[in-house]
C-alpha cells in the first residue's frame, strides 16, 4: 500500500532555482529528528513551482519499503536535503495510505 505526506515547504533563500514538486522528477530526502535520519521521498504533486525564499505545498510518496517512516507525523518539522545540502524547512501537515497513487 502506498503512503503519502502533505508538506508545507519553505525554500531557503540561498537556493539558486525553485523546487518543482509536480512531474515526478524531484526526489529529495527529509532529515528528521535529533539524529538527522534521512528518509527518501518522491514528490508527486503540489504547487507547480516553489521559488527560493517562498513557501508552498508538496505531496510526496514515501518511497522505500522497509524504512521506518514512523517519525513523519503531522506537525513534525524537519529539513529537506539534496545530498549534504539543506534546501528547505518542512512542516508535515498530513499523512495517509492509499492502494494507488492515482487517487492523490
Q: Is residue 101 part of a domain?
A: no
Q: Is residue 38 part of a domain?
A: yes
Q: Is residue 74 part of a domain?
A: yes
Q: If we measure between CA atoms, which residue out of 98, 15, 13, 33 comes closest to residue 59?
A: 98
| % residues pLDDT > 90 (the chain) | 86
Task: Note the pLDDT of residue 1.
Answer: 81
User: 7-31 pLDDT, tens per residue?
Assistant: 999 999 988 899 999 988 999 999 9
Range of the domain at 13: 2-96
Task: Note the pLDDT of residue 62.
Answer: 97
C-alpha triplet 33, 60, 104: angle, nearest 5°:
140
Mean pLDDT, the chain, rounded, equals 92
Q: Is residue 104 part of a domain?
A: no
CA gap 16, 39 in Å, rounded:
23
Q: Is residue 102 part of a domain?
A: no
Is the per-residue pLDDT at 104 higher than 60? Answer: no
Which CATH number do you get for residue 89?
Answer: 2.40.30.10
CA gap 104, 101 in Å, rounded:
6
- Please count the structural domains in the chain: 1
Amino acid at each position: 500500500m502506498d503512503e503519502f505526506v502533505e508538506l508545507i515547504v519553505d525554500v531557503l533563500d540561498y537556493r539558486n532555482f525553485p523546487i518543482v514538486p509536480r512531474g515526478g522528477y524531484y526526489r529529495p530526502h527529509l532529515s528528521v529528528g535529533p539524529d538527522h535520519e534521512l528518509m527518501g521521498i518522491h514528490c508527486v504533486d503540489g504547487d507547480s513551482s516553489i521559488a527560493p525564499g517562498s513557501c508552498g505545498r508538496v505531496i510526496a510518496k514515501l518511497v522505500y519499503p522497509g524504512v521506518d517512516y514512523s517519525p513523519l507525523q503531522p506537525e513534525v518539522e524537519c529539513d529537506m536535503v539534496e545530498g549534504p545540502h539543506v534546501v528547505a524547512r518542512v512542516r508535515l501537515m498530513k499523512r495517509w495510505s492509499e492502494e494507488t497513487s492515482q487517487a492523490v
